């Protein structure tokens, strides 16, 4: 079977949430300690920029954008979230998802994608670098996760076709 990238739909949530929970359990993917409900997650993510990678009925990973600000001047900047099933890592799925997201985000008028990544999550940082993201700084002691202060590497990718005027 081949991998297929599709728009995320409501009925994907059970598998998307399970993948998110795996990320939470690693303690290296997010500050969240519990996965949100579909309703809450849906409100915080941009509808035209949500994708899953399928193999038949199985979802191997997902990516979505969320707004970084409601100010008009920053309308072309979004935060990328990308999560893979633990057993699906290292199969080229992540780069396929990010490349699809770059294409879709540029079509939707986004000129900058950013990601906040725990520096210990080396594989995620390498994936983002492979997709053209660069480290723009480290936010030290940005927040506590399970009582431990964590730094966050801020990475961004600036479009070469949107926002060039």
Does residue 163 lie within any of the structural domains?
Answer: no
Q: How many domains does the chain have?
A: 1
- Give 128: exposed, middle or buried? Use CB within 10 Å, 0-12, 13-18, 19+: buried
The SS3 call for residue 75 is coil
Among the listed residues 30, 10, 8, 38, the one whose alpha carbon sits nearest the alpha carbon of residue 101: 8
Domain range holding 26? Answer: 4-158
pLDDT at 1: 63
**What is the C-alpha to C-alpha distance for residues 66 and 110, in angstroms, rounded to an integer?**
11
Assess whether pLDDT exceeds 70 at residue 69.
Answer: yes
Task: Check whether 36 has a pLDDT greater than 70.
Answer: yes
Write out the E strands in 76-123.
77-84, 112-117
In a domain, 80, yes or no: yes
Phi/psi-derived region of residue 3, left when phi > 0, alpha when psi is between -120 and 50, beta in every other case: beta
Q: Residue 54: inside a domain, yes or no? A: yes
pTM, rounded to two decimals: 0.94
Is residue 164 one of the residues assigned to a domain?
Answer: no
Phi, psi of 37 (to 5 degrees): -75, 165
**pLDDT on residue 165:** 83
Q: What is the CATH number of the domain that holds 16?
A: 3.40.630.30
CA dihedral 37, 118, 104, 62 (to 10 degrees): -50
Quote the CA–CA distance of 75 and 78 in Å, as a whole number: 8
Q: Is 68 among the domain residues?
A: yes
Partnered with residue 83 across adjacent β-strands are 62
**Token pair belonging to 70:** 């409601």
Q: What mean pLDDT is reported for the chain? A: 96
What is the distance between the alpha carbons of residues 58 and 67, in angstroms, rounded to a whole number? 28
Distance from C-alpha of 112 to C-alpha of 114, rounded to nearest angstrom: 6
Summarize pLDDT for 78-122 with one digit per residue, the tens.
Answer: 999 999 999 999 999 999 999 999 999 999 999 999 999 999 999
Model confidence at 162: pLDDT above 90: yes
């Amino acid at each position: 079977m081949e991998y297929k990238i599709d728009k995320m739909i409501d009925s994907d949530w059970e598998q998307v949430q399970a993948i998110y929970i795996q990320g939470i359990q690693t303690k290296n993917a997010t500050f969240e300690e519990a996965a949100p409900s579909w309703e809450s997650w849906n409100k915080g993510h941009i509808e035209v920029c949500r994708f899953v990678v399928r193999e038949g009925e199985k979802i191997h990973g997902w990516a979505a954008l969320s707004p970084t600000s409601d100010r008009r001047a920053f309308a072309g900047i979004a935060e990328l979230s990308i999560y893979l099933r633990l057993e699906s890592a290292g199969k080229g799925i992540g780069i396929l998802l990010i490349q699809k997201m770059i294409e879709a985000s540029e079509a939707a008028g986004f000129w900058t994608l950013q990601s906040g990544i725990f520096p210990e999550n080396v594989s995620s940082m390498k994936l983002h670098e492979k997709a053209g993201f660069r480290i723009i700084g480290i936010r030290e002691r940005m927040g506590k996760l399970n009582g431990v202060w964590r730094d966050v590497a801020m990475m961004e990718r600036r479009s070469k076709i949107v926002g060039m005027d």
